[in-house]
Structure 1
Amino acid sequence: MTDQQRPLSAADRSYVAFVEVAWERHIRLAMLLCGDRWRAEELLQDSLVRVYERWRRLSRLDDPHAYLRRALVNNHTSIWRRRRRESLVADVPDRAAPAGGSDPDADVLRRALLALPAKQRAVVVLRHYEDLSEREVAQVLGCSLGTVKSQNARALGALRHLLNRSFDSVSR
């Protein structure tokens, strides 16, 4: 019997059910962290692999989604750090426009989020998009409550500035 013919174990079936729910729930978080659908899918896939490697233990937790959320943020931070060390190029390559219509306000917000440093962006997304408490954000990011508060305040101030500037240029 080959691997494809072998029936799934109970743990594997529960993992597959988890992924079916988790994908839609967490792809939006990954997109807000990355700013790009393809990178977000890659980030989520990598994070789901980490979850699978620990699934027997995680499946017994009250909320394995919290572990996945933390894995997403940690993986994104690691990728961001690696890319930050890469050398910059003089010319930016052309990129295809996103498929389908998009909300101009959402695009402005997405660009403003991407202008924030990675940690501030993670705090804002977890706090205001995922609707986590400050304490939960601190747990996910592995930092103090004070750090979350200060990063959130700085990020919101920067977003206000960036968004006011963006909307002022549109209204002129």
Structure 2
Amino acid sequence: MASRDREETRRRLLDAAFVEFAAYGFGGARMERIARIAGCSAGLAYTYYGGKDALFDAVQCEVVDAAFVEFDAHDLPEYAARLYDRQHRHPELARLATWHQLERPGRVSRAAEVEAIRRAQRQGLVSTCFTAEQVLALVLAIASMWSNAPDDGSDHVARRRTVEDAVRRLVGP
């Protein structure tokens, strides 16, 4: 029984931290608020995660990565469209990613994706007008260009098609 309670508390802390970090970023998040939202003491939050750094990393690993979109260098337009879909359904993931880029740049390695794009470029499947790093940055930017925009009733399907088409034109050999 105690093991289940520990796991439930850990999960509540992760969920509360996700909400807090998405709303306030790493710098603005407060362990006391996270603990209050999770229904436990701040001391218990520190016991489970050791501090804000470790809790942020745990949120990144366990919550954000659970919503992972499989990367495919051979079909970057579809990858971008799936990433757009995910961000449309879960705008808080996009906010958290934005905070992560602003406050903790370089903490997530994209080396595997960059290398996959390089291979696709060598195979003639992806344009070599840009470096692999630039291609990845542009694809991610296009996929997320509406992620922080208010939902103005625009047609999701049309936006998705725009993302897919823009990336297709960008990477086409």
TM-score (norm 1): 0.31
Q: Which has the higher contact order (CA 8 A, sep 6+)?
A: 2
TM-score (norm 2): 0.31
